[in-house]
Amino acid sequence: MSAFATRAVHVGQLPDPLTGAVVPPITLASTYVMDEVGVPRAGYDYSRSGNPTRSGYEAALASLEEGERALAFPSGLSAEDTVLRALTRAGDRVVYSQDVYGGTFRLFNVLLPTEGKPTIGLDATDTDSLRAAIRDARPRVVWLETPSNPLLDIIDIATAAELAHQVGAFLVVDNTFATPAQQLPLKLGADVVVHSTTKAIGGHADLVGGAAVFVPGLELGRDGVSETGLVADEAYWWQNATGAVPGPFDCWLGHRGLKTLQTRVRAASASAQQIAAALALIPQVRRVRYPGLPGHPGHQLAARQMTGFGQVVSFQVGDPGLAKAICESTELFALAVSLGAVESLIEYPAAMTHPQKADSDAAIPADLVRVSIGLEDTGDLIADLTGAIERAVASHA
């Protein structure tokens, strides 16, 4: 297998056979001519069921995550919903790490219970608690987000996979923060990886998308709606049945993002490391949450299961009003939700991306600020954050 960067550029991107164009043309067609009744010319009949641009993108996603098959979706949440539909039925339980994206938390605490699927959230960094929950609940699915959003918790994927498989459960890992450029959950024992490709994979704040990637030969282990009994085929059936498919231009944008993913993530992560260290020296900053810092409780684990520490940094300042003021005082950092773009972003998670967790055991600390580091000059970003904190402190005094 060729190196990551080589696969990112070439898999699913064969030059156009007619013109030789190094970037294949986007297939915008919704329907495809058949030479015989019911016999598609190249396997495509209608673009909800399959599209050449989407196929190339999915091939690249599968290659980079070192999985067998990938499915592209119109959002990260639609990818999560489809995976859960494929894996679970009424009565099945789901155990999940409770520091997850707010929309994911809503799926587990509102949607799944209405379908008769009980869910159990816990601090999955505590292996003993995770072991006990899996042993007692005997779930159908164990769901992890690592690094987590927005607290940057690190969870032991290999241990979680072992515990899940002992009771016949599937392990699903949200790899959005790390990306396949810095973490390969399927190689650590996970069964399915999900992504919000809106984030670092797209990388330019111009795409909303999602993806799911499946370990080779993964069997559903029960009767399903697909004919093969494979989880990937079951998920594809649900995707096609519900129409949860991205448009070809979004697939083209996502595939373009994959080509520069490793370079962008490496650069942004190196900058994030310096910014986290600089924040740790500011008196008003009570705690910096970044797995690249030696003081982070998951630092050693992250160093083992990741090849970099990511481009997101969270920090706490001891006062909710001050946290909000900092978010409103930057000049380079844009006050906006999302992450992983070339532009640096700042947000207040408790009110912007995770309000669904308010009044729950998983509520986000009210003094937490989250920043997504882009590709601007590191010194300029540090100066912007430092200046914003100084201005916020002065105005909040």
For the entire predicted model, the pTM comes to 0.97
Residue 209 pLDDT:
98
Per-residue pLDDT of 149-181, as tens digits, reads 999 999 999 999 999 999 999 999 999 999 999
- Concerning whether 174 is annotated as a catalytic residue, the answer is yes
Residue 396 pLDDT:
78
Residue 105 pLDDT:
96
Q: Which residues of the chain are modeled with pLDDT < 70?
A: 397
Residue 18 pLDDT:
87
Domain ranges of the chain: 4-251, 261-396
Pick 261-396's CATH classification: 3.40.50.720, 3.40.50.300, 3.90.1150.10, 3.40.50.10860.
Answer: 3.90.1150.10
Q: Which residue is catalytic, options 32, 45, 48, 131?
A: 48
Q: Which residue is catalytic, options 93, 199, 357, 370?
A: 199
Quote the mean pLDDT of the chain: 97
Q: Which residue is catalytic, options 81, 174, 191, 367?
A: 174
Q: Which residue is catalytic, options 101, 236, 290, 348?
A: 101
Q: What is 4-251's CATH number?
A: 3.40.640.10
Residue 320's Cβ-count burial label (10 Å; 0-12, 13-18, 19+) is middle
* 261-396 shares the fold of 4-251: no
SS (H, E, C) the chain: CCCHHHHHHHCCCCCCCCCCCCCCCCCCCCECCEEECCEECCCCCECCCCCHHHHHHHHHHHHHHCCCEEEEECCHHHHHHHHHHHHCCCCCCEEEECCCCHHHHHHHHHHHHHCCCCEEEECCCCHHHHHHHHHHHCCCEEEEECCCCCCCCCCCHHHHHHHHHHCCCEEEEECCCCCCCCCCHHHHCCCEEEEECCCCCCCCCCCCCEEEEECCCCECCCCCCCCCCEHHHHHHHHHHHHCCCCCHHHHHHHHHHHHHHHHHHHHHHHHHHHHHHHHCCCCCCCEEECCCCCCCCCHHHHHHHCCCCCCEEEEECCCHHHHHHHHCCCCCCEECCCCCCCCCEEECHHHHCCHHHCCCCCCCCCCEEEEECCCCCHHHHHHHHHHHHHHHHHHHC
Residues 6 or more apart whose Cβ sits within 8 Å of residue 163? 130, 131, 134, 142
